[in-house]
Homo-oligomer: A and B are copies of this chain.
Amino acid sequence: MRRLYSLIIAAAACVAAMAITPQEKIAARLQHSASNHCIYPEDNLPQLSPAPAGYEAFYIDHYGRHGSRWLSRASAYQRPVDVLRKAHHDGVLTEQGERLLTTLQNVLAASTNRAGELSDKGAEQHQHIAERMFKNFPTVFAGDAVIDARSTVVIRCILSMQNATTTLRSLNPNLRITTDASYHDMYYMGYGHGEDTLANKVSARTKLISDSLYAAHVQPERFIKQIYTHPDHLDLSAAQRLMRDIFDIAGSLQGHHAFDNLDLFHLFTGDEIFEMWRLKNIEWYLYRANSQASDNRMPFAARALALDMVEKADAAIAAGKRGADLRFGHESVVLPLACLLEIDNINLSTSDLDNLHNEWQSYDIIPKACNIQMVFYRNAAGDILVKALYNEHEAQLPVETDMAPYYHWNDLKAYYKKKLATPIDWDK
């Protein structure tokens, strides 16, 4: 009966997913076009299936991205302002262009000394995720459960951890929580200190592909004409850069309460918005997912993290631990990790970039605060099951099971351990 129930849920989800195209999804809410700048999708989260009879959740193995933030680099706000200020000085802005300059100057001023920092909504996202985690799995957070929280050394991640753990503490003051953010853990927690550094050579090559796609497909003529009285003030490359910069800011505004009533998407047509998203979708796929352009190597950038998750889960099982290992980091880590763990279809391998958007959508995969929760259950006999949540949706894992969405840990672990031992030649 439960199996049937799960199948019906899964089938309904498939139908729902199939029923809406990326074009429709973005048209319905333009903010979906922002790829990795999308706010965390926490409305209409699905009901989770109940624990199998006789099993109780006792441990969560987690990795999550920081919440919404300011754009990473101050130049992302500064550069388009500089371009439009010059145009203003040269007297070539339309009335709409002048208004845009004023708006962008206001955003720039608000962003001063904030580049890359967690936003107010970003803090709330982690409060909400932690609260739902607690309420979804009360047995994990019961009594004096042990919560070991780690963050990369990047401040927006540390503050995300802060918001999550403070929330958990308020729900159960007896939790034993430790927190850390250390270079000591960076070889598996983040990027720039482990096997991922070897992958940088590969992503430098795939970046040439996405750069060439932007150059070939971004059509800025109409966009520029509404801003410039003399569109030839900018050459094609500068016009593309300006259009992309303003599109990035437009998509990022959703991360701040202060900008809830500020819209920059009105400068773009629906087709332009879709095309800009489609290109960014390809860029992210090539950068950190399982693309054939990278010889399917990129997921292994998260190998040390996947190993850490397997080992900490095994240690928790062996120790009879109740609690969680919580890790706070980046989408550029969540993405290869989700590929490596073969969660849902995130690990898609294709060379057909023209059709990618129909198969793989960044807004569902790498929004702010995207996260993986591996939830462990045991029964009185000590049998261990695991269920994976991706952004709090029950997810499919790469081994057979007779009780989806629950998987037998020993099967899954054997699969992962074998896969994680795969040698990768990063030099070819």
Identify the A interface with B (CB < 8 A). 112-114, 117-118, 123, 153, 155, 158-159, 161-163, 165-167, 169-171, 173-175, 177-184, 186
Contacts and interface: CB of A to CB of B under 8 A. Distances in A.
Contact of A162 (B123, B171, B174, B179): B179
A184 B112 contact: yes
Given A112-B184, A158-B162, A170-B175, 19 more contacts: A117-B182, A117-B184, A123-B178, A123-B179, A155-B181, A158-B158, A159-B180, A159-B181, A162-B165, A162-B166, A162-B179, A166-B177, A167-B169, A169-B170, A169-B173, A170-B170, A170-B173, A170-B174, A173-B173
B184 A114 contact: yes
20 contacts: A113-B183, A113-B184, A113-B186, A117-B180, A117-B182, A117-B183, A118-B180, A153-B155, A155-B155, A158-B162, A159-B181, A162-B162, A162-B165, A162-B166, A163-B179, A165-B166, A169-B169, A169-B170, A170-B173, A171-B173
Contact of A159 (B113, B169, B179): B179
Contacts of A170: 169-170, 173-175
Nearest to A111: B184
A124 to B, nearest CB: 10
A170 B113 CA distance: 32
A126 B198 CA distance: 39
Specify how many copies of this chain sit in the oligomer: 2
A117 B175 CA distance: 24
A315 to B, nearest CB: 19
A113 B182 contact: yes
A158 B181 contact: yes
Nearest to A182: B117
A120 to B, nearest CB: 8
A148 B118 CA distance: 15
A51 to B, nearest CB: 26
A130 to B, nearest CB: 12
Contacts of A118: 180
Nearest to A114: B184
Contacts of A113: 182-184, 186
A123 to B, nearest CB: 7
Contact of A114 (B155, B166, B167, B182): B182
Contacts of A182: 113-114, 117, 155
Contact of A183 (B114, B179, B180): B114
A114 to B, nearest CB: 6
A186 B155 CA distance: 14
A184 B117 CA distance: 10
- 8 A-B pairs with the lowest CB-CB distances in the bound complex, closest first: A170-B173, A113-B183, A113-B184, A169-B170, A162-B162, A169-B169, A166-B169, A166-B166
Contacts of A165: 162, 166
Q: Which of A123, A155, A165 has the most CB of B within 10 A?
A: A155
Contacts of A166: 162, 165-166, 169, 177, 179
Contacts of A183: 113-114, 117
Nearest to A183: B113
Nearest to A163: B179
A11 to B, nearest CB: 41
A356 to B, nearest CB: 37
A182 B155 CA distance: 8
Nearest to A173: B170
Contacts of A155: 153, 155, 158, 181-182
A39 to B, nearest CB: 19
A175 B167 CA distance: 11
A115 to B, nearest CB: 8
A162 B160 CA distance: 11
A173 B173 CA distance: 8
Contacts of A179: 123, 159, 162-163, 166
A183 B116 CA distance: 10
Nearest to A185: B113
